[in-house]
Amino acid sequence: MNTGNRRRLFTGGALLCTAVPAWSHAPMQGIGEFYGGILHPLVVPAHVLALVMLGLLAGQRGMAAVRRTYLGFLPALVAGLALSGTRFGGGQEPLLLLFSALAGLLAVVQWRWPIGVFLPAGAAVALLLGLDSAPEGLALGPYVATLTGTALGAFACLLLVADLSERASKGWQRIGLRVLGSWGAASATLVYAMRWLVP
């Protein structure tokens, strides 16, 4: 074996020794489990798109819709996070992306959902998001801290978007919400397509 081959073999072996486990929901390094949980809904494209589009739709419909969305969202999120480590958890991203695409299109056309729809819509999105948020490779204490952070981060994101959308009363602000809805629908469609096209 010549020197070049030995060098390649040594480099390959060294790289294999430094490999770390590849988890779909790995904890973020360096910021702690709780703060990593807070950021988790904001760094997973399917999660942040679903939260933004749900908040946008509820805000466009008014404060009554926003309140009902919160009422459905909070208990379902807690239930989803509690079940996330079971056999029901994982694999909900395609459904969240489909919801985001549909909700974005509805925001563009400013279709007014009946007020009663927002409670089950909020509950459905929260349940799917919670089920898809189980951190991997953590002991019980850090696991619970991460899920607590995830609940706080998801609700804060929904709260912010819904509140800003509800306050948008001027014409140019309403147009901006429709543009945001179109971007959300396009982004969700692209992310969904990438899941199928990229091996």
Residue 73 vs residues 29, 124, 129, 176: alpha-carbon distances, Å: 29, 8, 10, 25
> Structural domain of residue 166, as residue ranges?
38-197
pLDDT digits (tens, 9 = 90+) for 85-107: 888 877 899 999 999 999 999 99
Residue 60 lies in a domain: yes
Give the residue among 39, 59, 41 at the shortest CA–CA distance from 181: 59
Domain count, the chain: 1
Residue 59 lies in a domain: yes
195 CA to centre of own chain: 15
Mean pLDDT confidence for 179-193: 92
Residue 42 lies in a domain: yes
**Local structure of residue 132 (DSSP, 8 states):** T
pLDDT digits (tens, 9 = 90+) for 113-155: 889 999 999 999 999 999 998 887 778 888 899 999 999 999 9
Encoded tokens for 143:
């696991």
pTM of the prediction? 0.81
Handedness of CA 171, 174, 179, 182 (dihedral sign): negative
H-type alpha helices, the chain? 3-17, 33-43, 45-61, 63-83, 93-108, 118-131, 140-167, 171-197
Residue 84 lies in a domain: yes
Residue 29 lies in a domain: no
How many other CB atoms are there within 10 angstroms of residue 78's CB atom? 15
Residue 179 lies in a domain: yes
Residue 17 lies in a domain: no
pLDDT digits (tens, 9 = 90+) for 4-63: 555 555 555 544 444 444 444 445 556 788 998 999 999 999 999 999 999 999 999 999
Report the range of poorest mean pLDDT among 22-26, 69-73, 133-137, 188-192: 22-26
Residue 187 lies in a domain: yes
